[in-house]
Chains A and B, each alone.
Chain A
Amino acid sequence: METLNQLAHGFSIAFTPVNLMWCLLGTTLGTAIGVLPGLGPALTIALLLPITYQVAPEASFILFAGIYYGAMYGGSTTSILLNTPGESATIVTALEGNRMARSGRGGAALATSAIGSFVAGTIGTLGVAFLAPIVVKFALAFGPAEYFSLMVLAFITVSAVLGSSSVRGLTSLFAGFVIGMIGVDLQTGQPRFTFGMGELLDGVDVIIVAVGLFAVGETLYMASRRYAGKDEIVPLKGSLYMTAAEWGRSWKAWLRGAAIGFPIGAMPAGGAEIPTFLSYAIEKKLSKHKEEFGTVGAIEGVAGPEAANNASAAGVLVPMLTLGLPTSATAAIMLSAFQSYGINPGPLLLTTQANLVWGLIASLFIANVILVILNLPLIGLWVRLLKIPAPQLYAGILVFATVGTYGISQSPIDLVILYLLGAAGFLMRRFDFPTAPVIIGMILGPLAETQFRRAMTISNGDWSVFYTHKLSLTLLTLAFIGLAGPHIWAFIEHRRRRGPENVPGDA
């Protein structure tokens, strides 16, 4: 009941004309950047961070959340019609969705993905509203040692467990740590990693890092690969209305996808890859139309993963709002927006910033309604956006990137750092290093350090606090299993199959 009252209060905030306008702006912008290849929610929110100096926290978070949700809807349109997944979360949607579009059922694919996103997004947002207060009760028992161990677990899952290689994921994470440590140490006032440059005393702004990795790096990468095959836009054929049979095949997949996506997103692991792939595998197994998978495209294979993607995007907000623990690049940048307001997300956020949190959650429900309208009747508009030619698109992205970076302090040094990070981002993209752990590392690293030092101060420098507290030990054990488990498993499998001569060589 408490939650329903709070939610009603939240709607009274979200339904003010000004906040509705921010929601509409955010969802429209989010859909647009989701549709456009090369632009994502993390980059867009980073570029818009200066807005936090201008408007109330409610307004900017409603805007950011609209962009976050909108990008999920828009991304699936690109996956279905262009077969170039804008984000890793929509890779699975492209598998069946693009095949459906090629066999003339693009309309149904777009419809099931938009309505599925709406259903799962609404379920996921309900999940946030009801789960967040429960997690808060649990989190109030956390001391600094537990927080630190929880962050270690999150570090391991976002960098080592997800993605193709734990070594490369961790490398990205540690690079993020180094960037996060640049500047004055807040506890002792000592400058760190400034190389004697006064410009670095304030640290490197997350805007520069996000823009460097996601805009400059991506543009250089796309330029370097002009010889690679080009994707064609599949013209939108078939009506947007689904037949009764298609509804029948979709709705169960939506619910299953939401049931898989939300819990995984809400765990301190995050990431949309695992739930989308899991949902795809389950739908393929349960489907009565297995022959359509991989040939003409099966509608369950779009409905399930799309629902899982949106539900997990909602789930990510639970650890973000209740523990201050971002598990995706977008969530990390939203966390830095909280910091820019001087708000510390954590268990107390729901009580101290009730207006902000419940207004935000209520606006997410509204965003879902706006998005399903934007993405079904107005789909033709977004398809036209896909036709923007690559040269002008990437050149335009870099013009906005420059505004966002140069606007921070009008310092050419910032542009130099931006280009260096862009070169690093290009190499990372080319050699398969994930970029999200860099952002998570730079935002969450300093917070982990603070908790670590706090725990050590309380314990008088005794390291045992991290393993004598039961909860902390459990979290660290889970982190260790996440890191070492797959390697030990592979080693055992390897020995069993090939005998003891071969040593597993995968780094």
Chain B
Amino acid sequence: MSTSDQQAPPRRLAMPELLIGIGLLACAAAVAWQTLAIPVSPLYSKVGPTVFPYLTMTGMLVLSLLLIVAALRGGWQPEEEKETPTDWKAMGFVAAGLVANLLLIHPLGFTAASVIMFVLICYGFGSKHPLRDALLGLILALAAYFGFARALGVNIGAGFIENQLNSVINAIIGMARG
């Protein structure tokens, strides 16, 4: 676009931004693939279910190209972000907590899985008292469970802890009703 004898300092290609642009391009391709997979009945030939997906795909295509161009010209990341190093260890523990929650919520129930996630995330953020965190997590998880499951009528995964407490509560309610 600009000639090489320009005296402006050459701006370096920004790798992370380039990857984001390419990722969006891949998303546009996935949108195209899924749009082609939509069966269109000839009855709806005028404005069928594929017109908007195609418009969206075109928009994403153009935007991803603009992002790639911006990345080739040095990217757009704010200076402040570039200067702050990423704390991979903290992020790793948060991610581990999330994955543990996903894997354990079915076998152990919501409360137990939440306590494990709570402790891992606290540790990731620099807390040095895992036992205290576990107790706090337990109180919070039970509050969340009974707040949601009982008050809002939402059914969330019940495990050993919840079943025990539920039967205790039901017994108390039963006794109160006489």
Contact = CB atoms under 8 A, between A and B. Distances in A.
Interface stretch (A70-78, A127-135, A337-345, A390-398): A390-398
A165 B145 contact: no
Contact of A390 (B48, B78, B125, B148): B125
A219 B102 contact: no
Given A392-B127, A392-B133, A431 B148 contact: no
A181 interface: yes
A224 to B, nearest CB: 5
B84 A227 contact: yes
Given A392-B136, A427-B20, A398 B98 contact: yes
A386 B21 CA distance: 38
A149 interface: no
Contact of A402 (B24, B53, B114, B122): B114
B84 A402 contact: no
A391 B122 contact: yes
Contacts of A456: 46-47
B51 to A, nearest CB: 8
Interface in A359-396: 389-392, 394-396
B66 A167 contact: yes
Given A168-B76, A190-B39, A502-B2, A223 B125 contact: yes
A142 interface: no
Chain A contact-residue range equals: 35 or more
A407 interface: yes
A191 B35 CA distance: 10
Interface string A407-428: 1101010011001001000010
Interface residues of B, number: 83
Given A165-B76, A174-B60, A412-B106, A50 B154 contact: yes
A484 B145 CA distance: 50
B1 interface: yes
B85 interface: yes
A390 B127 CA distance: 9
Interface string A27-68: 000000000000000000000101101100000000000000
A241 interface: no
Contacts of A216: 98
Interface string B67-103: 1011001001110010011111011011101110110
A3 B175 CA distance: 53
Interface in A123-152: none
Name A's interface SS. helix
Given A192-B34, A410-B155, A456-B46, A395 B105 contact: no
A51 B86 CA distance: 38
B141 A399 contact: yes
Contacts of A431: 16-17, 20, 76-77, 81
Interface in A149-184: 165, 167-168, 170-171, 174-175, 177-178, 181
A505 interface: yes
B95 A389 contact: no
Nearest to A506: B70
Given A54-B153, A174-B63, A399-B137, A419 B125 contact: no
Nearest to B158: A410
A452 interface: yes
A457 interface: yes
15 contacts: A51-B152, A167-B63, A167-B66, A167-B70, A193-B53, A223-B121, A224-B88, A391-B121, A391-B125, A391-B126, A402-B110, A407-B149, A407-B156, A410-B156, A507-B69
Given A50-B152, A185-B49, A407-B155, 5 more contacts: A224-B91, A403-B154, A457-B47, A506-B70, A507-B67
Interface of A: 48, 50-51, 53-54, 165, 167-168, 170-171, 174-175, 177-178, 181, 185, 187-188, 190-195, 216, 219-220, 222-228, 389-392, 394-396, 398-400, 402-404, 406-408, 410, 412, 415-416, 419, 422, 427, 430-432, 445, 449, 452-453, 456-457, 460-461, 501-503, 505-507
Enumerate the 8 nearest inter-chain pairs by beta-carbon distance, A residue then B residue, closest first.
A391-B125, A407-B154, A507-B70, A395-B121, A391-B127, A223-B90, A391-B122, A185-B49
